[in-house]
Every structure is written in C-alpha cells, then in structure tokens.
Amino acid sequence: MQEYDPKAIEPKWQKIWADDPSYARAGDGSSKKKSYILVEFPFPSGAGLHTGHVRSYTALDALVRKRRAQGENVLYPMGWDAFGLPTESYAIKTGRNPHEVTKENIAVYKKQMQMLGISFDWSREINTSDPNYYKWTQWIFLQLYKNDLAYKTRTTINWCPKDKIGLANEEVVGGCCERCGTPVEKREREQWMLAITKYAQRLYDDLDIVDFIPAVTAGQKNWIAPSKGAEIEFKIKDQESGIKVFTTRPDTLFGATYLVLAPEHEFLQSLVTSHKSLENKEEVVRYVEQTKTKTDIERQALGKEKTGVKLEGIVAINPANGVEIPMFIADYVLGGYGTGAIMAVPAHDERDFDFAKKYNIPVVQVIETSESLPYSGDGTLINSGKFDGLSTEEAKEKITKHVGSAITTTYRLRDWVFSRQRYWGEPIPMISCEKCGWVPVPEGELPVVLPPVEKYEPTDSGDSPLSQMHEWVNTTCPKCGGKAKRETDVMPNWAGSSWYYIRYTDPKNNEALADKKNMKEWLPVDLYNGGMEHTTLHLLYSRFWHKFLYDIGVVPTLEPYARRLSHGFVLGEDGEKMSKSLGNVVNPDEVVERFGADALRTYEMFMGPYDQMIAWSTNGLVGIRRFLERVWKLSEKVADDVDESLDVKRVLHATIKKVSGDIEAMKFNTAVSSLMILTNSLEELPFVPREWYNTLLLLLAPFAPHITEELWGVIGNTGRQHEASWPALDEEALKGGSVMIAVQVSGKVRGTVEASRGASEEEVFEAAKAMPAVAKWLGNSSVKRRIYIQDRILNIIPE
RNA sequence: GCCGGAGUGGCGGAAUGGUAUACGCGCACGACUCAAAAUCGUGUCUCGAAAGGGAUGAGGGUUCGAGUCCCUCCUCCGGCACCA
C-alpha cells in the first residue's frame, strides 16, 4: 500500500468537494432537525488566517460534520466582514483601491479555508461591502431612524488622532484606541448616535434567557451596569433652577457637604455667560478648557490627586436639611454618567473624602461605624434629623421620598456613536435639506452606493473623504425637491456584522433582508463562537439590533444567539502571544505544507481544552501525524469474516459513546484521545473487521476529513465517507467482560480484585476477603459497613 | 477595588464524589541497522531494600471515600475601573 501522503490526497478531495454542488449545503424547508452553527466571519486583512481561526473553524466543523452524519439539517455558513479601517489604511498606504484589496484578500482567505477542509456552505457566502448586502444595513438604519433610535447630535466624542476617526465608547480600551493603541482625545462633533441605552434593561435582563459562557454574561452585565439610586435636585440659592445629582446613597444625604459638577456639565455654559454672581469666571473657564485637552489617560493618570475649582459665589442648598453648601467643578466627576453631577459625602465616599481634605470642606458623618472614615459600608443613621436610627436600607427609600424623588436606574452604557469620518464603510442614507432638516433616503432608492473616489485619506478637518465628492454630495431633498446634501459620514465596521447571521438564512433576497419563512426556520443561531474581545462590541450591538428588529416585527425571536462560546487563544511555542516582533508566529500554510491539514486540524483539537489558552507545540503536532500514520497503516489489516474480540468490540462502542458525547460537549481533546485508545486496541488485533475500521473512520472524520474520505475508498467501501451515517451505539456491546475492582479498607486502597462486569456486592466481597492484603488489614475485626460502587470500588469498614 | 477563569508529572493535559496522573509529547533502555533516521517493544510522580508511606497552590471542614463539595487564604491569566 501507498504511504500516507496528505499533500496528494488533501487537494484531491478538496477539489471534489468544491465541485460538488450538494456538498455541505443546508437545505431550506427541510423536515430534518435544524442546526444553525455560526463562527464569527473574519475581517479579510492581508495577513491571512492564523492558528486561532483554524482552531475555532475546525472545532465547529467537527460538530457540524457529526451532526450532518446524524441526519441533521445543518447551516454552517461563512462570509466576509469586509468594511473597515484596516483595509482602508492598507489601500492608502499602497495607493490602491479598497474594493480591489478586499477582493484579493477574500480570495486568499477562501483558499485557506478550503485548504483546511472546513465544510462551509459556500452557496450562502456573503460580503458586507456588497451593495446588495449593505442595502439592507442601510435599510435597518432607516428603520432605527424612523423609530427615534437614530439621532444626530453635537457631542463630545473619543477621537483617535492617529486613525483620524471618532470612536464608540466600546472601542476605547483603557483610554486608548481599540485598534491602534493611541490615547484618545476629546473632540466635539456632530455625530449620528444610536439609542442603545433605551434597550439597556432588556439587553441586561435577557442575558437570563440565553446560554452564554459566564465571562461573556459577566462582561455584558458589567458594561451595561445598571445602578439603582435616586436623582435628587439641589436648589441653587437665589436661583430658580437647580442641579440634579444621581446617587446610589440617598441615605447619606444629610452628610452631603458640597456639590460637584463635571467640567462638561451644561449648567456651566449658562453660568459663565450670564450668571452674575460667579466671582471667578476666568478660573472656571480655564479649568474647563484644560479638561477638554486632556486625554482620558491623562485624566486618570493624575486620578489619585484630585483637582477642581470652587464656583465662588454660587451656593447650593441641601434639600434634606436646608444647609447651604459650596459647589465645585472637578474632573473626577464624569460628564456622561448619571446627571454629570454628584452630591459629595466625604464621610462615606473615598473620592469625596480625598477631595474634601484637599479643599478643607467639612466632613459630616451620618452612618455609625467603629471604623475610620471614610466608611462606605452600611450601618445606622446618625446626624440625620428624624431619620436617625434607621438602617441604610430603610433610609434610602425614606429620604428619597422625603425630598420628593424616587428610586431610578442609571446605566453605565452610553448611546452608540455611529458615525465614522471615513470612506470604506456603508454610507449613512440620510440627506440634509436646508428647509426640511434631516430627511431619510426613500427606501426605494437604496442602496446608497459608495461612490468611487480619487483619494481615501481622511481629512484633518475630520470630515469624510466623501465630503469632497461634490457631485455625489449635492443632491435634492426627497421631501421638498430643494437643494440638499448627502450625509458624508459612513457607518462603523460594526454595522454590517450586527445582522449578518440573518442574511445567511436567505442571502440572495432582494425584497427583504431575509424571507420570514427562512428566518423562522433557522433563527436563532443555535451555537455562536467568537472572540472575547467582541463581548461589548459586536455581540452587544447585534443583540441590540436584533431586539429592535423583533420589536418592529422583522425577526421572529427575542435574541439572535441561543448559545455563545469562545475558543482560547493559541499562543506561540514560547507561551507568549504570537507576534511578528517576537518571531513566534505559526503560519497555518506552512504547517499544512509540512504535516497536512488533517494533522493540523486534529492537533488543534487535541492540544487542550477548547476554551483555554494554549501554547503551540510542534512536538505535539508530530504526535498527531504519527497517529494518522497508524490509522493509515491499520487499513492493511482490514478483513472480512474475522472473529470479533468482545473486549475490543467493547472499546469500539465505548469510543462511539465517548466521541459522540465529547463533540457535543465541545471536549474535543478527550474525543481525540479516545480515538487513539481505540486505535491502540485495534492494532493489537491480527485482523480488523471492516465494520470496526469503518466506525473508526467515521468517528475520526469530523477532525480529519481528508484521510478518512480517502481510506473509506481505499478499503473498498462504496459511496463517500461524508455521506455515511454516524455509527450507532450498541449498549449491549458495552456489557460483559471483566473489571478490576479496587478494594479499600477504611477508605484506603489495599488491593484489586478482578470480577465480571456487573458482579454483585457479595461476589466481590467474598473475593476481596480472600485476598491476603485485605485479610491482613481487616484482622479479626468484624465488618461494620460495606460500600460498594458497581464495577468500581468496594470499601470495607471494620468495627 | 469589582467581576470572570485557572492552579494536577519534565511538558500539553485526563479523571459522573469512587484505584489521581488516561491520551499525547519528552526522556531512558532494548529490537531492527555497518550506522543513523523512521518504526516497533519496555519503562518513566515521589520516598523506601521491602512492607508501606507521601503528593492534585496552602490550611481547615463535610464524607466510608475529596483534584472534584464547603470555608479561609495565596498565586497566575483575562475583563472593567474616579460610574457617585
């Protein structure tokens, strides 16, 4: 027989599969059980696939292949998240057209996926930068607009000076641009916003009806972060208006000895322009300006030492006791959270305490404690008038009521900044008319196609390159027919990916994002695999869009994804994150060249628990290659009409059970190891019954589809391996044979007895008593108690 | 600080509360070979001559029995973080 040569057999089968129009196809309207398995579609960069892609694509491919073999109707699609900054940057750098760059990169990615033998349904391939696709992304935007969930407003945004682009909150990581790591600056701009905060509570609550891994659930909950508290109004002396503050500790209201406004607070505007009694206007204005120029990093780096400016001449009144208290502005109060203003209770808040110390503000203790101040725990109220003696819990409600307020919920989540001043994205389908204001592009005119431009560079003014396309920009108002201009900002790269899983159910539909029938058949996605880095980005955004689409009657389910999990990163051989600078990057192309796609796939499944980070090991890969060689050689022993060893048959069926269960439980490493155990057992035999070898191939196929397809034919089976059914488990075959039973005396193992599987306690006990070691430990004492676990252990407790 | 995850051989790791270290890697020895590679076989937690004892980050607890459950800690990784 020939040597195992993956370089020959893998391309051969890949070609056959690619040419087969029915291979790996999901059927619409099938009566079979449906399974919608989704892995995040990649952004097709110039770098190509990495080992992490291989891990997740293969894992889900294994599950998919197993379920198909079990007769399920499986949808396992793939597509391209093609819009986005990296392509645009690359295009600018190389002076090329992003359309072309994208096309080329997609070709590379697709080729690599086929080289790995991933069984995607290529008939449903989608591309977010295709006008037939983004027509519907734009359509969804219009629906959001019509339902008051999209609005344009002038706001302070996070600006990445390197990428020259505005960022959503979710795209700022530790004060830096999520993509390039540059510290973000604050800029004021007109921006399209999506009111995701209106869905905050539902996005939070409905995490209970989906099955996400704990880290994702926790990550989203932390990000949305509902916080129960009260909005309390403080009147300003000699003024009609007041300042609303948000506090989670209304019980400490009597201890509020000053008020702090964020430097962004709108009250300051009127204060510096019209308020006569503000005595230090210049100082205040200077501080506000200073804050604006600081990046978040700078603002937080100096965080330990708090700064602020007193609003001289302005006095607020504590609504609980009528005491006059000073007001400050300070950048430790954030403009975007709560009301942008706080009541400061230095006795019971560390930050307020620090600030009060620095500015000599009185500290009034209102919660009893033996600990030193500041004390932020619960306790009994003091110095709080008629509320003295109440617990913090009771006082929260009563004091809130006393000042005429009510308990409300505030979220950490902010509205989604949806404009990008860039070229390579979906045009926002809005028109600005001098007379009518913002007017949506009529749905019949979608898509608003991204026009070709000469230059893709972002402008220093912060405007999109599209703004220079005067022919495109200048248009007429759909409402009044007057002069109007198109919106030149484009959507963020998170737009197209927010609904792509819907499009896969009906990718070529021109009348709707997808036919209702198809959505009903396939949604929700049964299993969704993707990166942890998308917890508060893509995953949150798409849940928001989906809920909105549900509300307007477009999609049939409350949630897009029933289950979400994540694969662990593949680290370099040195245990560090793979990076060019460390020179520890493993290139899948080279691994396939040296070891074959099946070895790479199977190794990545075997290397460790799927959800755990793990270091690459070329030695480990060698072990897998050896294993595949052994399976290959084993085919020489295949024979008909041979005596079946019941012991090996037992191993065979135990393996069917184990592999079936482990693939469903995403425990691929132990599934592969059990296949090795089976192979070891079969190697012991002089001849291997054909049926058993076929079973081995069928169980191995989800991991190593090429070698199994080849061997299927080599040993003379008709048809294709991938069309054969998943092996059936024979529970009877698991029975019989003998087992080693551990015999314990007082919980300590003192020996083992061989017994037939399913032996009774008495039988085992009699055998155990006869053992010298056991007899020795038992001595003359009588047996007080026996614990017998079938086929496992007998524990004898002497008197 | 808050939240999530994880600590088991030389290494990756396995183990429904039931013989800890499966499977793989590495290593050692042996076979084949002029030799090497490849392949095959045997061995491989630790102390002990043996009988036995000790080991799953540390310390307690529950249990006939704990890597697994409970409590108190320690360490590492990841996320959020002046969120009032």
pLDDT single digits (tens) A582-604: 888 999 999 999 999 999 999 99
Closest nt to A248 (CA→C1')? B84
Query: Within a 13 Å sphere around the CA of A134, how many CA atoms are in the beta-carbon half?
Result: 26
- The separation, in Å, between residue A602 CA and nucleotide B34 C1' comes to 39
- The separation, in Å, between residue A693 CA and nucleotide B19 C1' comes to 32
Residue closest to A69 by CA, chosen among A752, A699, A729, A785: A699
Better pLDDT: A760 or A776: A760
Query: Across residues A360-381, what is the average pLDDT?
Result: 90
Lowest mean pLDDT among A371-385, A436-450, A526-540: A371-385
With b for 16 or more beta-carbon neighbours within 10 A and e for fewer, the A287-321 pattern comes to: bbeebeebbbeebeeeeeebbbbbbeebbbbbbbe
CA distance A41 to A417: 23
Percent of chain A with pLDDT over 70: 99
CA distance A261 to A327: 8
- The separation, in Å, between residue A775 CA and nucleotide B66 C1' comes to 26
- The separation, in Å, between residue A622 CA and nucleotide B34 C1' comes to 29
Which residues does A337 contact at the CB level (< 8 Å), separation at least 6?
Answer: A246, A410, A412
pLDDT single digits (tens) A308-320: 999 999 999 999 9
Closest nt to A606 (CA→C1')? B24
Residue of least CA–C1' distance to B5? A215
Question: 10 Å Cβ neighbour count for A249?
Answer: 22
Q: Indicate if the pLDDT at residue A376 is higher than 60.
A: yes
- The separation, in Å, between residue A757 CA and nucleotide B31 C1' comes to 37
Instruction: Assess whether A385 (CB) lies less than 7 A from strand B.
Output: no
Q: Indicate if the pLDDT at residue A525 is higher than 90.
A: yes
With b for 16 or more beta-carbon neighbours within 10 A and e for fewer, the A155-178 pattern comes to: bebbbbeebbbbbbbbbbeeebbb
Query: Across residues A198-219, what is the average pLDDT?
Result: 93
Cα A124 to Cα A74, A84, A240, A501, A512, distances in angstroms:
13, 22, 63, 11, 16
Here the tokens at position A38 are 């989704």
CA distance A315 to A278: 10
Question: 10 Å Cβ neighbour count for A794?
Answer: 23
Instruction: Assess whether A249 (CB) lies less than 7 A from strand B.
Output: yes
Instruction: Assess whether A654 (CB) lies less than 7 A from strand B.
Output: no
Instruction: Assess whether A86 (CB) lies less than 7 A from strand B.
Output: no
CA distance A540 to A782: 66
Closest nt to A414 (CA→C1')? B83
- The separation, in Å, between residue A627 CA and nucleotide B36 C1' comes to 23
Q: Per DSSP, what are the bridge partners of residue A748? A: A745
Instruction: Assess whether A297 (CB) lies less than 7 A from strand B.
Output: no
Instruction: Assess whether A34 (CB) lies less than 7 A from strand B.
Output: no
**Helices vs. strands in chain A: H and E counts, helices first:** 26, 32
Q: Indicate if the pLDDT at residue A302 is higher than 70.
A: no
Rounded to 5°, angle at Cα A173 from A171 and A178: 50
- The separation, in Å, between residue A624 CA and nucleotide B30 C1' comes to 25
Residues recorded for chain A: 799
A 339-368, residues with C-beta < 7 Å of strand B: 340, 342, 349, 351
Here the tokens at position A504 are 């896969």
Q: Indicate if the pLDDT at residue A303 is higher than 70.
A: no
With b for 16 or more beta-carbon neighbours within 10 A and e for fewer, the A20-57 pattern comes to: eeebbbbeeeeeeebbbbbbbbbbbeeebbbbbbbbbb
Q: Indicate if the pLDDT at residue A225 is higher than 80.
A: yes
**Cα end-to-end distance, chain A, whole Å:** 65
Closest nt to A680 (CA→C1')? B23
Protein footprint on strand B: which nucleotides are under 7 Å from a CB? 2-6, 11-16, 18-20, 22-26, 38-41, 52-53, 64-66, 77-84
Please provide residue A274's backbone torsions phi and psi, each rounded to the nearest 5 degrees.
Answer: -125, -20
* Antiparallel, parallel or unpaired: β A324-330 and A308-317: antiparallel
pLDDT reported for residue A301? 65
Instruction: Assess whether A78 (CB) lies less than 7 A from strand B.
Output: no
Please provide residue A578's backbone torsions phi and psi, each rounded to the nearest 5 degrees.
Answer: -65, 130
Instruction: Assess whether A620 (CB) lies less than 7 A from strand B.
Output: yes
pLDDT reported for residue A235? 94
Q: How confident is the model at residue A624 (pLDDT cuts 50, 70, 90)?
A: very high
Q: What is the mean pLDDT of chain A?
A: 92
Instruction: Assess whether A390 (CB) lies less than 7 A from strand B.
Output: no
What sign does the dihedral A284-A288-A289-A295 (CA atoms) show? positive
CA distance A277 to A291: 23
Better pLDDT: A325 or A373: A325
ipTM comes to 0.95
Instruction: Assess whether A97 (CB) lies less than 7 A from strand B.
Output: no
Query: Across residues A286-303, what is the average pLDDT?
Result: 77
Q: Indicate if the pLDDT at residue A628 is higher than 90.
A: yes
Cα A499 to Cα A127, A137, A496, A513, A543, distances in angstroms:
12, 8, 6, 9, 9
Which residues does A356 contact at the CB level (< 8 Å), separation at least 6?
Answer: A257, A258, A344, A346, A362, A363
Closest nt to A611 (CA→C1')? B5
A 477-516, residues with C-beta < 7 Å of strand B: none
CA distance A272 to A292: 16
CA distance A405 to A73: 56
Instruction: Assess whether A585 (CB) lies less than 7 A from strand B.
Output: no
* Helix boundaries (H) for A635-782: 646-664, 668-684, 690-700, 705-714, 731-734, 761-769, 772-778
Rounded to 5°, angle at Cα A249 from A383 and A323: 45
pLDDT reported for residue A148? 97
- The separation, in Å, between residue A70 CA and nucleotide B41 C1' comes to 40
Question: 10 Å Cβ neighbour count for A483?
Answer: 12
- The separation, in Å, between residue A487 CA and nucleotide B28 C1' comes to 74
Rg of chain A on CA atoms, in Å: 34
Residue of least CA–C1' distance to B19? A742
- The separation, in Å, between residue A607 CA and nucleotide B72 C1' comes to 35
Percent of chain A with pLDDT over 90: 71
pLDDT single digits (tens) A415-448: 999 999 889 999 999 999 999 999 999 999 999 9
Residue of least CA–C1' distance to B22? A673
With b for 16 or more beta-carbon neighbours within 10 A and e for fewer, the A484-518 pattern comes to: bbbbbbbbbbbbbbbbbbbbbbbbeeeeebbeeeb
pLDDT reported for residue A411? 94
**Owner of token pair 């694969």:** A567
Closest nt to A245 (CA→C1')? B84
Instruction: Assess whether A532 (CB) lies less than 7 A from strand B.
Output: yes
Instruction: Assess whether A182 (CB) lies less than 7 A from strand B.
Output: no
Query: Across residues A598-624, what is the average pLDDT?
Result: 94
- The separation, in Å, between residue A668 CA and nucleotide B57 C1' comes to 27
A 300-329, residues with C-beta < 7 Å of strand B: 300, 302-303, 306
Instruction: Assess whether A676 (CB) lies less than 7 A from strand B.
Output: yes
- The separation, in Å, between residue A424 CA and nucleotide B76 C1' comes to 41
Closest nt to A229 (CA→C1')? B84
Q: Indicate if the pLDDT at residue A274 is higher than 90.
A: no
pLDDT single digits (tens) A156-165: 888 888 888 8
Residue of least CA–C1' distance to B79? A219
Question: 10 Å Cβ neighbour count for A796?
Answer: 22
Angle at which helix A618-634 crosses helix A690-700, to 10 degrees, equals 150
A27 CA to centre of own chain: 28
Instruction: Assess whether A334 (CB) lies less than 7 A from strand B.
Output: yes
Q: Indicate if the pLDDT at residue A304 is higher than 70.
A: no
Instruction: Assess whether A669 (CB) lies less than 7 A from strand B.
Output: yes
Query: Across residues A406-415, what is the average pLDDT?
Result: 92
Closest nt to A614 (CA→C1')? B12
Instruction: Assess whether A618 (CB) lies less than 7 A from strand B.
Output: no
Query: Across residues A779-789, what is the average pLDDT?
Result: 85
pLDDT single digits (tens) A72-109: 999 999 999 999 888 888 888 888 899 999 999 999 99
Closest nt to A746 (CA→C1')? B64
The H or E element containing residue A591 is helix A588-595
